[in-house]
Amino acid sequence: MQQDQAVGQSQAFVLAHSFKKVGAYWPLVGADNSLRLFVEVTADADHPNVRPKDAYQMLLSSIVPGWSVRILQIFWPDPVPRDAFQKQAETWPVDGKEPALPAPVPQAQVSLPKKGEGLKLLHDALLLHIREAPLPFIRRTVIEFVYPGTEDALAWWEGIQGNLLTFGLKTEPLPPEKIQELAQWIFNPKLEV
């Protein structure tokens, strides 16, 4: 008699209690002692033809009956673009001096306020807005595999990562710290980071 399995259950992920080294990987040990391997998938910028649909079809069609794979697409805060813009904006001249122009413009005169007060006020407002605005988000794709503990399953997992490369997708196995960060973000997201 086959036992029904709930789809989309995350209780085992929440109740995980440790990590265990398996080969080159650190799977998460669930409350039910299941081992869960995680890789993050990104598009290879150097690959001319990225085909995620074909890659996922290959991944799902190669699963052995009874194995479990979950593909997670998560919106994750990305402070890098905002921080880079803020650092650049902080270097802008606002003290009333003319900024260095790339080339002289003979037909138009460029002038700034004599004391630069208005420009300073606008600059301060821009910097405040940059600091207070919500972070932009990026989409991260993570594949979770419930490792059944057999050699053929580990060989399949390693082979899948190589096969995804042919479709222009790179994989990076997640270390324990990144898995904990992922679990915290999934189950307790701070949208106002």
Q: How confident is the model over 71-109, as pLDDT tens digits?
A: 888 877 777 788 888 888 888 887 655 544 445 545 555
Amino acid 155: pLDDT: 92
Q: 142: buried, middle or exposed (CB in 10 Å: 19+, 13-18, 0-12)?
A: buried
Task: Give me the amino acid identity at 111.
Answer: S
**In this structure, CATH architecture of domain 11-75+138-187:** 2-Layer Sandwich (3.30)
Amino acid 9: pLDDT: 60
- Cα angle, residue 173 at apex, residues 155 and 159 outer, rounded to 5°: 25
Amino acid 154: pLDDT: 92
Q: Full-prediction pTM beyond 0.75?
A: no
Q: How confident is the model over 119-133, as pLDDT tens digits?
A: 888 888 888 888 887
Helices (H), 62-142: 80-90, 117-132
φ, ψ of residue 79 to 5 degrees: the values are: -80, -10
Amino acid 40: pLDDT: 92
Amino acid 3: pLDDT: 60
Return averaged pLDDT per consecutive 10 residues of the chain, 193 residues in all: 58 69 87 88 85 90 90 80 85 65 51 64 84 78 91 92 90 91 73 50
